[in-house]
Structure formats: structure tokens, C-alpha cells
Amino acid sequence: MNNRAYLFFFLLLLIIGAFYVYQKYQKAPSIQFSNLPVRTLQNEVFNLQSLKGKKVIVCMAASWCPNCIDELNELSQIKTESLADVEVLVLSDESIEKIEQFKSRRNYPFTFLKLNADFASIGINSIPTSYILNTKFEVVKQSVGIIQWSDPSTLQHLKTLMD
């Protein structure tokens, strides 16, 4: 093979690798929330489908994740005045004890739930990963990374999607 062939092969591998990384770490997977097995902090089965008819934000997060804490802090600051009609769920794959400690230490006004599997088993490879669900319980937006909830235009856009 000549140098052009090596260069072409190298560039092709680079593009395939970049696509793989994007798909795995920067694109939120599609999740069927009606079938997602979760438990309350009292270790009771929680049926996510029971939230149909409500606007819902689902944040996949963990207590050890600085970006998750930043996003949850921002959501907490605007929850009462800007998201009063929105149910905010925080799903974690950590133990119920860790989730309870995290919630009480931070005093977040959200519903915390324990995912009955690890994040990787449902395709979550990067957190925070957030899902916005409308009143029909349809995912209308999914995002990997921090959402700037305090940005008025972002907040208004996301609230409009939930209707």
C-alpha cells in the first residue's frame, strides 16, 4: 500500500471511532420509561406510567458526579417558581442508602428513585443524562450533559415541549 492508502485507512478509522464515541457517550439512548424497573427509597416498586398526564423531567444522576450535582443544584433553584407544575425524578443506579444520604445532604425537592439495574445495561454511558416527557408520557427531548435550566430561553423552550 502507498501513503495515500494508509492515510485514507487512518482517516476512515478516525471517523468510525469518532462516530462510535459520539453514539456511546454523547447521544442519549432511547428508553421506554413505562417498562423501566425502578424502586422508591422505601424499596417499593414505582410505576413510572403513573405519571402520565404530568410534565416530567427524568435526570439520570449519581452522588459522585460533579456535573450531576451542578445540574441538580440549578434545577433545585428554579423548581419552585419556574417548574412548580413539573415532576422532577432523579434516577440513580447507586444503592438506596447512598441515594438517601445524597438526597438528605443536598435537600433536593425531587423524587429520587433507584434503578433496578446499572446505567450501562440501559445504554446510559455518560451522566447526567436527562429526558423531558410531555403529558402523554412521550419523550420530547433527551440530552447528555448539563442542561442550562436557568437560561430563560432554554427553560421556556423545554417547558413548551412538555405541553
Q: Regarding the domain delimited by 31-162, which CATH topology (the fold level of the hierarchy) does it fall under?
A: Glutaredoxin (3.40.30)
Question: Residue 24 gets which letter from DSSP?
Answer: I
Beta-bridged to residue 60, according to DSSP, are 91, 129
Which of the four pLDDT bands, split at 50, 70 and 90, describes residue 28? Answer: confident
* Cβ neighbours of 99 (radius 10 Å): 23
* Cβ-proximal residues to 61 (8 Å cutoff; 6+ apart), any chain: 68, 71, 72, 90, 91, 92, 127, 128
The full set of domain ranges for the chain reads 31-162
Is pLDDT of 12 > 70?
no
pLDDT of residue 21: 47
Q: CA-to-CA distance for 57 and 145, rounded, in angstroms?
A: 14
**Is the predicted pLDDT of residue 15 greater than 80, yes or no?**
no
What average pLDDT does this structure show over 36-52?
Answer: 94
The overall pTM is greater than 0.75 = yes
Q: Between these two residues, 12 and 149, which has the higher pLDDT value?
A: 149
Strands (E), 75-134: 86-92, 111-115, 129-133
Residue 17 has pLDDT above 60, yes or no: no
Nine-digit cell at 69? 450535582
Averaged pLDDT, 158-162: 86
- Distance in angstroms (rounded) separating the CA atoms of residues 143 and 17: 21
pLDDT confidence of residue 155? 87
Mean pLDDT value across residues 96-101: 96
149 or 64, greater pLDDT: 64
- The chain-wide mean pLDDT, for the chain, equals 87
pLDDT in tens, 123-142: 999 999 999 999 999 999 99
